Amino acid sequence: MIDTQNQIALDPTMQPEEITKKDVAKAYVRWHFANEIPHTFERYLAPSLLWAMMPILRKLYKDDDALRAAYERQLLFFNTQLTWGGGVITGLMSSMEQERAREDYNQEEIKMTDDLMYNTKAGLMGALAGIGDSIDSGTIQYIFIAIAIPWAQGGSALGALFPFILFATYQVAVGLFFARQGFTTGRNATSLMQSAGIQNIIELLSILGLFMMGILAGNYVKVSSSLEFEISGRPFVLQDTLNSILPGVLPLAIVLGVYWYYTKKGLKVTRALLWLTGILAVLAAVGIL
């Protein structure tokens, strides 16, 4: 009786092809641009990851059943941030699938199991998403916007285009870097995220982001008091006094008030705007602002 499985393993046409850094870069670019397009309720971003991985999986699995199983592995629930999470995990899955394909072809004991691959992916996607959201969406994006605001106020189209173009370029570059690192280091990719250098960069960016938010609040949140009255026959203008003692205190109070609201009530932006509009309208009506 012929062992068909052994024939497949020894057949050179069934041997997995070598995955290159170019393949990994292509996979990340596919993930990057398909990220939110096939978003589904039950699988979230898994269809995007699968579409990104398809060229790599086709190079690794020449048997239809093995390829179908790989597709199913990568189609399980998945949700993470675009660059830090998506980049690392795209590279990591490429490395792990390559090892799985090698074990299948050589008929070795399967150590790169389905559970190991999914548990690795599931364990990383939330942690890396938190880092990516705080750095990309919470810091870098606003630094680019802050740089461009004066150009926009001056009527230059560069003010609108600069943040969009630079942030998009930054995300592609960072995602490609992490995808290659994830592929190169395999399951140890998380050590890159935990290294002292990366942690220092994250801390520096967080501090820089706080500075930028303070600059934005001080320069572009315009709140002043119109309250004035006479004391012993001399005019007292509240805003002049504030400017000499605590310049910018009213914009700072507004920003801190909104921040306090978000920490107490959650990120309910519309409700916060309504409350803020109402409070400012009342204060303006009674002549305080």
Angle at the Cα of 127 (from 121 to 128), degrees rounded to 5? Answer: 80
Please check whether residues 166 and 97 belong to one and the same domain. Answer: yes
Please check whether residues 45 and 116 belong to one and the same domain. Answer: yes
Please check whether residues 152 and 261 belong to one and the same domain. Answer: no
Spatial neighbors of 128 by CB under 8 A, at least 6 apart, are 80, 81, 84, 85, 88, 89, 193
Please check whether residues 191 and 256 belong to one and the same domain. Answer: no
Distance CA 25, CA 179 (A): 7
What is the reported pLDDT for 201? 60
Helix runs in 186-268, H state only: 190-194, 196-220, 238-245, 249-265
Please check whether residues 280 and 196 belong to one and the same domain. Answer: no
The dihedral over CA atoms of 192, 195, 197, 201, expressed in degrees to the nearest 10, equals 80
Distance CA 120, CA 52 (A): 18
Of 156, 68, 153, the C-alpha closest to 114 is 68
Please check whether residues 235 and 193 belong to one and the same domain. Answer: no
Total tally of structural domains belonging to the chain? 2
The residue out of 197, 220, 243 marking a domain boundary is: 220
- The domain of 142 spans 1-220
What is the reported pLDDT for 209? 58
What is the reported pLDDT for 7? 46
Distance CA 123, CA 190 (A): 11
Please check whether residues 199 and 242 belong to one and the same domain. Answer: no
Are 179 and 24 in contact by the 8 Å Cβ rule? The answer is yes
Please check whether residues 152 and 232 belong to one and the same domain. Answer: no
For 138-162, how does the pLDDT look when each residue is reduced to its tens digit (9 = 90+)?
A: 788 888 888 888 888 888 888 888 8
Q: Which residues in the chain land under pLDDT 70?
A: 1-10, 187-220, 229, 232-233, 267, 269, 286
Residue type, 106: N
Are 140 and 167 in contact by the 8 Å Cβ rule? The answer is yes
Please check whether residues 125 and 259 belong to one and the same domain. Answer: no
The residue out of 198, 220, 242 marking a domain boundary is: 220
Helix runs in 80-195, H state only: 84-105, 114-132, 141-153, 158-185, 190-194
The residue out of 220, 243, 271 marking a domain boundary is: 220
What is the reported pLDDT for 4? 47
Please check whether residues 101 and 244 belong to one and the same domain. Answer: no
Please check whether residues 200 and 242 belong to one and the same domain. Answer: no
Please check whether residues 173 and 257 belong to one and the same domain. Answer: no
Query: Tokens 């086709």 belong to which residue?
Result: 58
Q: What is the pTM (predicted TM-score) of this model?
A: 0.64
